[in-house]
Amino acid sequence: IGWQFFFVTEGEYVEITSITKEQSGEYECISSNDVSAPDVRMLQVTVNYPPFISKARSTRTAVGQRGVLQCEASAVPVAAFEWYKEDRKLFNGLNGVKIENKGNHSMLIFFNVSEEDYGNYTCVAMNKMGNTNASIILYGKRCPCLEPTGPGTINDVSRASLSQPSSLCLLVTLIVLYLLKF
């Protein structure tokens, strides 16, 4: 048997003022007198506290991929979770998202990320003691082929594509002029 705290007090009561969550655990009570052997009882003290979000990581996901936003909260009793995009509440199985809650963490899963999915999401963790929330961003992954190119590159490309037809034109004109001589 393990217990986390050991108070040695004599009397019928142990008063713990301003209990903290670290003081949850097993306590042992021993009653004895001169006549019989001491009677020992274990008792479990549970300290309830409102959730605090310990993990809320923003992620970057490309269009067409599976995306996951994660939220983790410490709370007693264990927290229930809700997800929002801006002010709109999200529901499991609707709009291409799945909400998976496992113990102290919740995942918002996108089956297939689209442009419209990018944005600011809110994870709300709550229990009977209170609630808290955190913002998590789903960022887009920029495709390197769409990175803007320098003006020099664009000019070179346009000049190259223009010079080919114009030299062809010149060649045709020269041939026509040559043929016209006869």
- Binding site residues, ligand NAG, CB under 6 A: 54, 64, 72, 74, 84, 103-104, 112, 120, 122, 124, 133, 135, 137
Residue 54 belongs to what H/E stretch?
strand 49-57
| Cis bond upstream, residue 148 (ω within 30) | no
| Closest CB 53 distance from ligand NAG, rounded Å | 8
Contact 26, 33 (CB under 8 A): no
- Give the span between the Cα atoms of 60 and 5, in whole angstroms: 44
Closest to ligand NAG by CB, 130 vs 149, is 130
What pairs with residue 102 in β-bridges? 105
Rounded alpha-carbon distances, angstroms, from residue 75 to 23, 83, 102: 14, 17, 13
| Closest CB 18 distance from ligand NAG, rounded Å | 22
Q: Which residue has the tokens 């899963």?
A: 109
| Closest CB 92 distance from ligand NAG, rounded Å | 17
| Closest CB 109 distance from ligand NAG, rounded Å | 13
Closest to ligand NAG by CB, 14 vs 47, is 47
